[in-house]
Structure formats: C-alpha cells, structure tokens
Amino acid sequence: MRFLFLISAALATLVLIFLLNTREFLPAPLGKLLSPQHGIWQNAEPIDQAFNEDLNLPGLKGKVDVYFDERLVPHVFAEQEEDAYYVQGYLHAKFRLWQMEFQTHAAAGRLSELLGEGPGGRILDYDRNMRRLGMGWAAEKSVQEVEKSPESLVQYVAYADGVNAYIDQLTEGQLPIEYKLVGYYPEKWTTLKTALFLKYMSYDLAGGEDDLEFTNARNNFSKTDFDQLYYILSDSLKPVAPNSSEAPYPAVAAMDLSKPALADSIYFGFRNDSLTRDNTHRPNPENGSNNWAVAGSKTKSGRPILCNDPHLGLNLPSLWYEMQITTPNFSAYGATFPGSPNVIIGFNENISFGFTNAGRDVKDYYEIEFQDDTKTAYRYNGQWVPADKRVEVIKIKGEPDLLDTVTYTVFGPVMYDETYRASEKEIRNLAVRWKAHDPSNDGLAFYGLNHAKNYNDYLAAIKNLTCPGQNCIFASKSGDIAIWQQGEFPAKWQRQGDFIMPGKDSSYAWKGMIPQIENPHMVNPARGYVSSANQLSADSSYPYYTGNVFPVYRGYIVNHYLDSVTQADPVFMQKMQTDNYNVKAAFARDILLRVRTTGLDESSIKYLGIFQQWDNRNEKDAEGPTVFNLWWAALEKATWQDEFDRVGVPLPWPGEYVLVESLHKDSSYPFIDNITTPNKETLEDLLTTSLKVAADSLDKLAANGKLAWAKAKDTHISHLLKVIEPFSRLHLPVGGGKGVINATTGDHGPSWRMIVHMTDNIEAYGIYPGGQSGNPGSRFYDDSVDDWAEGKYHTLWLMKKEEISDPRIKWTMHFRKA
Amino acid sequence: MKLLISILLTALLSFALCIFLPWWSIAIAAFVVAAAIHQMPWKAFVSGFLALFLLWSGVSWWISAANNDILASKVSMIILKQQGSFLLVLVTGLIGGLVGGFAALTGSLARKL
C-alpha cells in the first residue's frame, strides 16, 4: 500500500514537471518560464541597473573602453580598429541579440522552423517566397565577395567573434525573453548571417515591384486606358537631380537601348491572359525616406546642415541602435544595424551622410520554356541549356521538413512554377532577375563613409553600393554638399521590365549596367541645397528608363521649403522634419470643393464643413485629414473600382498623383463614368456619392471618438513577433501621414530622425521610436517613443576621449584581451 | 520546528541547486530534504509547498519590485491574459509550490519504505 502511495506521488511529481517543462499540453512551459532563476523574471532588469563591467575576452587585440551615457548610448573607444567591430558585435548581441538573429532567420526563409507554418500556412508561404527568390543563394555569393576584401573580412570576422563572445557566456536566465517564450536557442553568429541581414535590407528596399500586376494591367486595359492610369512623369515632379548645366545628364545612353525587334507586338501586345497571384509578402511600398543637405549659403552659421529620416516599418525592438565608434583612424556616430558592423546613417568629425531609397526597378521576371517536366533544360538562344537545381530544406516546427526544389536559369531562380503558382489557370515558369543576386560587397560603402574625410572619400566609398540603390547625401565641415543616386542600375529601354519578359533568348535581357559616372547627382549646386524623397531621380531627358512607381509629394514640399529658406538652423530643420503639411490635399482641394451642396445629407454637410475649414495640415488633433483621406479614397474607388472589378485579377492601383492630375487636366476623365450603371455619371455625381460613403465611415469613427487624425490613423509600433501585443506600443498620438514630410502612417514612418550641423564641434540631433535595449523588461526598451511621437530630439554627442569624466557618462565597460 | 527547518532547508537548497541546474532541480531539493527530515507525509507536502511557494513568489516579487513591474505587467497579459503583476507573482509561487509539495511528499514516502 505504502509502495503504491510512493509510486503515485513520484508519478504525480514527474508528470507535473513534464507538463510544466514542455509546450505539448499547456501553451507554455510554465515551470521553465516562471522559475525566478531561469525564466522571464530574469529579464526584468532593475530600474537602477548598472551596466559597468570588466571583461576579459579571447580574440581581442588590445584595449577597448565603452562609456554609456544616460540614454544607454555606448561611446566605444578602441585602440585597434578590428577590436571596435568586435565590441560592436558584442554590444549588438548584449542589447539586441534576439532581433538580429530573428531578422536573419526571416531573410533566410527560416521562420517556420521557429514558429510553425502559421495560420493558413502563411509563415511557410513567406519562407518559400524568400527561398525561391534566392535570398540564401545571394547571401552566400556576397560572403564570397567579402572574403576577397581583406579589410571587410577582418571586420566581419571580428564582428561575428564579438557576437559569439557574448553568446558563449549567456546563461539560460540571461537569454532574451523571446527565445524563452518561443522556445529556441541562438545559433553562433557568422559572416553569412551579416550577409543575410544586408540582403534583407536589399529585399526591403529593392525587392518591390508590381510586374505581375502590371502585366495583368497591360493585358486587360486598352493602351489608351493603360497610359492614363499608369503614366510615369507626374506634373508635380521635382526630380532628385534635374538636368542642369552644373550636372548635365548624358546626352545618349552608353549602350544601344533600342527595343527588341517585335517588342511592340510581343511585349507591348495587349492580350487577354492574366495572373492571379496576389503576393502578400511584398516589402512595404512606403519604404522610403527624406534627406536633404543645405549649403552654408543658406544657413545662419554659414556651415552646411544635413538631415535624414528613413521611413521603414516601425517595430520594437527598433531596427536601429545608436552608438559611437572611435578608433585611431576615425570617430563616427549614428544609427547602426544590429546584425552588421559600421555606422549606417551618421557622421564623423569631418563629414555627415545619409540615405533615401532610390526605388529603381531592379527586379524583373522572364518567362522560361522548359524542355520537359523534369525542368532539366530550358530554351535559350535556340538551344536547350541545362538548368541548375537548388534544394531548399525548410524545417517546420512540429512537422516534417519540406523540400522545395528551385530551378536556376541564366536569369536567376525560377520563382514561380507548378509548385508555386503565379496563375491558377495555367503553369507559368517565371524566373526572376534581381540585382541583389549579383555578387557585391555593399558593406564596404559604410566602412568607407565611417572613415571618409571629404567629398572624394565619400564618392569612393559609395561606389561600393550596388544594391539597394540609394540617394546618398553628403555634407562636410569644409562646406561641400552632394547627393548621388548610387547603385548599379540596369540600363533599360522605356518600360523594360515593367511586365513579364520573354526569356527564350537574350534579346530582352538587361543590356548592361549604367556607368557609375552617369548616375544622377548634384554637387554643390548653385541653388544651395540637395534633397531626395524617393521621387524619380531624373526627368524624361535622362537617356535610361528608371522605373514606374514613385511618390512625388514629399519631394515637392521638401524642395518648396528649401527653395525659400535663407537662414536655416537646426531648429528650422527640426520643424521641417516633423512638418505635417499635406501637399496632395492642397492640390486636390479645388476638385473636392466642386461638390454640389444641394442634395447632401446632414452628416455629409457637416464633414464638408470640416474639410472646408481645414488648413491642409495633418496635425494629430485635426479632423480635416480624416475627412480628406476617407473622401479621397472613396473618390478614387468610385472612379476606378468599376473598371478594375471588370478585369477581376490583381492590378496595381494608380499612383498617388494620378487622380488629382487627371481631374485637373480633364474634368470629364473617361473613368468617371460608372460602367455598371446605365447612366453617364459626372465628376459632381462622384463627389456626392463618395462624400456620402466617407460620411458613413466618418460617422462610425465619430461614434467611437476617433475622428481626430491621430486616432483614426492609429500609429502603433508592434513587436517583431506581431502576436505579442503587450511588447508593442499602441495608439500613439502622432500626426503626419503618406505624402507628408512627417511620413508616419499606421505602422510605418520616420524610423530615425537625424540633423547634423557641420560646425567645428559638430552639433547633431537625432531620435528613433524605440530605445537602446531590446529587452521588453528594461526601462530602456521604449523610452524614446513618447519623445519621438511629440517630435522631440535628443542631442547627439560625439564624445572625445578626454571627456571621460563628463557627467553624462553613467556606466563604463572595459574590454581586455583574455 | 521540523516544519520550519524543512521549509528553510528546502528553500535554501532549491535556490542553490537552481544556480547550476534547470528549474526542476527544486524537486530534487524538496525530495532530499523530505527524505532526510522525518515528517508525516502531509506535513512534508506542506513544507515542500510552502518552501517553494515562498521562495518563488518571494524572489519574483523582489525582482519585480526592483523592475517597477515593467516586465511582469506585460508578461501577465501574455500568459494570464490579464493585467496584474501581482497575479503573476502568485501563479509563479503556486507552480513552484505544487512541484515542491509533490516532490517532498514523494521524499517523505520514500523514506518510510
């Protein structure tokens, strides 16, 4: 009997431990998670945590001292340059390990391994999308490039060693909380992981296109309709680099850019087939930024000021980590990417630098004809050419591995085929030619910029940047300002690559790359400033085709302000960077005010009144922006949705300027008529019905107290694992929006605002919506979010070695070689 | 007296073992103490339960207080779906206590064999 009791008690204990240690039965291993010495409690960092440490680590060459200021920004002073990257890796890991690894897992298409296939197989589909795009293949190629450059190799290896030095001493308790909640463990860091991270940025910034949708549009609209919906040159365009006598465009292309023979009938032939795939994994089309630099002639101090605010997905932990790196060769400060060495956007003692996305179309599709179903050979230039295969092994949590075989051609991987369909009706074999597949060592650009002392150094550095193409802005203490749209861009004929291209021979292949010297640029222009906001880089006199989808309004308003300013200072720049003026609303106002007030119901009249009184500024408490956005969206829908519904396959929605400009040019714009009704609608009819539609939505918002713009827009910063809401910051009181300099939308916006005044002791300001620690249990996790939302800035301190007793320094870490 | 000593010893041993071993080493501590110090099985259960309940809720409360409950309030939303760092402290104590109690009960029964 006693024995039976014993067995029962022992069994109960073991079962209890088992239950509390796995995820099989309870949703979480509660014993493991809640153990105060192992689990989540260990991530609850004391409010008064001291970050002082003395570390003796293998792999260091000399001494490194790190001084943390009151915002936990590290100022790293290394005696040996490679030690600086070692310590950068260590600090990135110490404060951001989970996110940097998670992002490389995302880049490599390995999320199912951690999270399972997701609801409806969504996560698995994301992974397959990344695998089939050849992200891993591309990253492996860039590792080979890095290995060819001694300075890069030393840097990348030192960085990885630093990350691993941190991982090696991690205890279970110190593991970032996300590892505990999801239930996995960090891998060793490698150069490949850094390459994957950088490829992820290429994907985010140069991986977007709507080629399949544009192909549908070409196939289903008449040429006239197509040209009206998707014209490229906006009237309001102010290109990044206008054609001027200071920096004239090349008169002719450096190579023969004539269209292939028969292109008019084959490529531009408007035939009636279509692709049904609605790609939900595309990078956010709003990924873009503002940057500008004004010369001393336009500033109070007589010195240049450089500004940059990259607009990216807003997440926690933040994409950026602020730090200073000082070695005997340079002293740089700015925003860094956890996952990569160097300062990415910032300044040093002599120059400042920043980026906006070029947005050029460097990703195209080619239709492949295989010899047979084995896909071992494909037709190319009149022959059957053998294809390569790459087997992607996708691990899925709780399921057997999925083997996904991807066929590679001369163009690149066949992304869509019978296993990954572009069309439900038929099998289309579409290979993707993407610039990010070409071997390159883009990290060298940042390495060079960190070290640069003048314009020539900057120019030499950015030449390493091939993809993603960027508008690289520059200002120096000595008074120079410059912007180059830099990247290795394919030389294209008009509309090349906007649609799927025939891949049976080389006639539609890219004819070569535009010579670097012919990239659009401006250096010390007479107008006294350079700027970019993702608009078209050049106007139609540029001899190369640069792509088809570009925003215009931010570029318009940035240049408008900079044209008129004469005595700029950092305060002016802060106001400008957080400016909420809505150019599109100003341009659209006269169209909307043509609405006939007779026949409007009471609530429509009320909202029309709000719109009339509104000053076109997307301020957080204003109701005008809410009315305008809903009304304009309803008007666009009323104009185009009927024609689009008739086509019935995924199509690109026309650009933000298309309806405004079309209605200004022609108030009897053919799309106004609703083709589903027997009547012939007029613009006035559409204005009335769209206002009514908007008013219904506005009434619902008003009933919930959400008419104010910030409430309607509802800006939030989600944790990278979208499901963990408590780690996110929701409902932020922020104005701005699409097409506004303060480009803050619901989940996207200025991810780092920086202003650098090139005075003798560089005066700089910056902020990002997050905090220096990636730990949701730290007070430094999101301590900058509220200031960011209010449009405030921190002073950025490029510390000098002799300032080590400055009261701003709160903690010190000493790194010594073991 | 025995109860008090058992509780103290179990808590101390649990804390020490958890510095080096996984969380479930609290069961070893409770088992060993209950096997070493003779008590009625139900008393052993109570001392194991109380030792770990007090240790786990005490330590987690201490940590959370130093953290201004920043993390506990977030994690309680994730795990318990409601706001309440104190509730998370209680659940933590309860889980530790249950494991400690059953392990101590087992230890006490094993000793009697």
- pLDDT tens for each residue of A541-583: 999 999 888 999 999 999 999 999 999 999 999 999 999 999 9
User: Interior CA angle at A481 toward A478 and A487, to 5°?
Assistant: 130
pLDDT band at A288 (very low <50, low <70, confident <90, very high): confident
Please give the average per-residue pLDDT across A221-244, as a whole number: 90
In chain A, which residues have their Cβ closer than 8 Å to the Cβ of B41?
Answer: 5, 9
Return all residues near B20 (Cβ < 8 A) that are at least 6 apart: none
What's the pLDDT score for residue A263?
86
What's the pLDDT score for residue A267?
84
Identify from A41, A171, A725 which residue to disrupt to test chain B contact, counting B C-beta atoms within 10 A and taking the largest count: A41
- Distance (Å) of CA A685 to CA A598, A633, A696: 11, 16, 17
- Grouping H, G, I as helix, E, B as strand and the rest as coil, residue A325 is strand
**Look-up of token digits 């049976």:** A504
- Strands of the sheet containing A430-434, edge to edge, are A414-416, A430-434, A363-367, A501-502
What's the pLDDT score for residue A234?
85
Q: Out of A3, A13, A44, name the one closest to residue B67 (CB).
A: A44
Chain B residue with the nearest C-alpha to that of A16: B99
Q: Note whether A44 contacts B63, CB cutoff 8 Å.
A: yes
The answer to whether the beta carbons of residues A293 and A306 sit under 8 Å apart is yes
Q: Note whether B109 contacts A777, CB cutoff 8 Å.
A: no
**Look-up of token digits 């919906």:** A229
What is the reported pTM? 0.95
Q: Note whether A37 contacts B59, CB cutoff 8 Å.
A: yes
Please give the average per-residue pLDDT across A648-660, as a whole number: 93
- pLDDT tens for each residue of A61-108: 999 999 999 999 999 999 999 999 999 999 999 999 999 999 999 999
User: Interior CA angle at B90 toward B89 and B91, to 5°?
Assistant: 95
Q: Out of B55, B75, B99, name the one closest to residue A16 (CB).
A: B99
Q: Note whether A34 contacts B60, CB cutoff 8 Å.
A: yes
Closest listed residue to residue A742, CA positions, set A630, A574, A565 = A574
pLDDT band at A266 (very low <50, low <70, confident <90, very high): confident
Q: How many helices (H) and strands (E) does chain B have?
A: 5, 0
Q: Note whether A47 contacts B41, CB cutoff 8 Å.
A: no
- Grouping H, G, I as helix, E, B as strand and the rest as coil, residue A661 is helix
Strand partners, A816: A56
- One DSSP character per residue, A739-800 reads TSSS---SSEEES-EEEEE-STT-EEEEE-SS-S---TTSTTSSTTHHHHHTT--EEE----
Chain B residue with the nearest C-alpha to that of A35: B23
Return all residues near B64 (Cβ < 8 A) that are at least 6 apart: A41, A44, B71, B72, B85, B88, B89
Return all residues near A675 (Cβ < 8 A) that are at least 6 apart: A642, A643, A646
In chain A, which residues have their Cβ closer than 8 Å to the Cβ of B110?
Answer: 6, 10
Q: Note whether A32 contacts B22, CB cutoff 8 Å.
A: yes
Chain B residues contacting A, CB < 8 Å? 15, 18-19, 22-24, 26-27, 31, 41, 55-56, 59-60, 63-64, 66-68, 70-75, 77-79, 88, 91-92, 95-96, 98-99, 102-103, 105-106, 109-110, 112-113
In chain B, which residues have their Cβ closer than 8 Å to the Cβ of A40?
Answer: 71, 75
- Strands of the sheet containing A315-316, edge to edge, are A315-316, A715-719, A729-732
Please give the average per-residue pLDDT across A647-666, as a whole number: 93
Local structure of residue A258 (DSSP, 8 states): P
DSSP H or E stretch at residue A813 = strand A809-817
Inform me whether the pLDDT recorded for A458 exceeds 90: yes
Single-letter amino acid code for the residue at A84:
A
Q: Is B65 left (phi over 0), alpha (psi -120 to 50) or beta?
A: alpha
In chain B, which residues have their Cβ closer than 8 Å to the Cβ of A12?
Answer: 102, 106
Inform me whether the pLDDT recorded for A273 exceeds 70: no
Rounded Cα gap, residues A63 and A79, in angstroms: 6
Describe chain A by its helix, strand, coil percentages, rounded to 5: 35, 20, 45
What's the pLDDT score for residue A272?
61
How distant is the Cα of A447 from the closest Cα of chain B, in angstroms?
Answer: 37
What is the share, in percent, of chain A residues with pLDDT greater than 70? Answer: 99
In chain A, which residues have their Cβ closer than 8 Å to the Cβ of B63?
Answer: 36, 41-42, 44, 46
Enter the tokens of residue A121.
């197989």
Enter the tokens of residue A152.
């890069």
Q: Out of B27, B68, B77, name the one closest to residue A47 (CB).
A: B68
In chain A, which residues have their Cβ closer than 8 Å to the Cβ of B60?
Answer: 34, 36, 41
Rounded Cα gap, residues A402 and B23, in angstroms: 35
How distant is the Cα of A44 from the closest Cα of chain B, in angstroms?
Answer: 6
How distant is the Cα of A176 from the closest Cα of chain B, in angstroms?
Answer: 12
Chain B residue with the nearest C-alpha to that of A727: B74
The lowest-confidence range among A200-209, A533-542, A758-767 is: A200-209
What's the pLDDT score for residue A105?
97
In chain A, which residues have their Cβ closer than 8 Å to the Cβ of B96?
Answer: 34-35
Inform me whether the pLDDT recorded for A344 exceeds 80: yes
- Distance (Å) of CA A31 to CA A26, A100, A178, B29, B35: 11, 27, 16, 15, 23
Rounded Cα gap, residues A419 and A17, in angstroms: 44
How distant is the Cα of B93 from the closest Cα of chain A, in angstroms?
Answer: 9
Chain A residues contacting B, CB < 8 Å? 2-3, 5-6, 9-10, 12-13, 16-17, 20-21, 28, 30-48, 172, 177, 181, 724-727, 776-779, 781
- Distance (Å) of CA A482 to CA A119, A240, A260: 48, 11, 37
Enter the tokens of residue A85.
């990257």
Mean pLDDT for chain B? 94
Q: Which pairing describes strands A809-817 and A53-57: parallel, antiparallel, or unpaired?
A: parallel
What's the pLDDT score for residue A271?
67
- pLDDT tens for each residue of A534-543: 999 999 999 9
pLDDT band at B36 (very low <50, low <70, confident <90, very high): very high
Mean pLDDT for chain A? 94
Strand partners, A377: A386
Q: Note whether A37 contacts B15, CB cutoff 8 Å.
A: yes
Chain B residue with the nearest C-alpha to that of A6: B109
- Residues belonging to chain A: 818
Identify from B15, B106, B108, B111 which residue to disrupt to test chain A contact, counting A C-beta atoms within 10 A and taking the largest count: B106
Inform me whether the pLDDT recorded for A3 exceeds 90: no
Inform me whether the pLDDT recorded for B56 exceeds 70: yes
Describe chain B by its helix, strand, coil percentages, rounded to 5: 85, 0, 15
- Distance (Å) of CA A663 to CA A323, A637, B74: 49, 14, 50
Rounded Cα gap, residues A73 and A809, in angstroms: 9
pLDDT band at A236 (very low <50, low <70, confident <90, very high): confident
A and B: number of Cβ contacts within 8 A? 127
Identify from B19, B61, B73, B109 which residue to disrupt to test chain A contact, counting A C-beta atoms within 10 A and taking the largest count: B109
Inform me whether the pLDDT recorded for B84 exceeds 80: yes
For A114, phi and psi rounded to 5 degrees? -95, -35
What ipTM describes this predicted complex? Answer: 0.97
Single-letter amino acid code for the residue at A186:
P
Q: Note whether A37 contacts B91, CB cutoff 8 Å.
A: no
- pLDDT tens for each residue of A692-733: 999 999 999 999 999 999 999 999 999 999 878 899 999 999
Chain A residue with the nearest C-alpha to that of B19: A37
Single-letter amino acid code for the residue at A197:
F
Q: Note whether A46 contacts B110, CB cutoff 8 Å.
A: no
Chain B residue with the nearest C-alpha to that of A8: B106
Local structure of residue A381 (DSSP, 8 states): T
Query: What is the C-alpha end-to-end distance of chain B, expressed in Å?
Result: 24
In chain B, which residues have their Cβ closer than 8 Å to the Cβ of A48?
Answer: 66
- pLDDT tens for each residue of A11-60: 999 999 999 998 877 778 999 999 999 999 999 999 999 999 999 999 99
Closest listed residue to residue A210, CA positions, set A265, A278, A289, A272 = A278
What's the pLDDT score for residue A34?
95
Inform me whether the pLDDT recorded for A207 exceeds 90: no
Please give the average per-residue pLDDT across A208-220, as a whole number: 90
Single-letter amino acid code for the residue at A79:
E
Q: Out of B63, B68, B73, name the one closest to residue A36 (CB).
A: B63
Rounded Cα gap, residues A794 and B104, in angstroms: 56
Inform me whether the pLDDT recorded for A274 exceeds 90: no
DSSP H or E stretch at residue A313 = strand A305-313
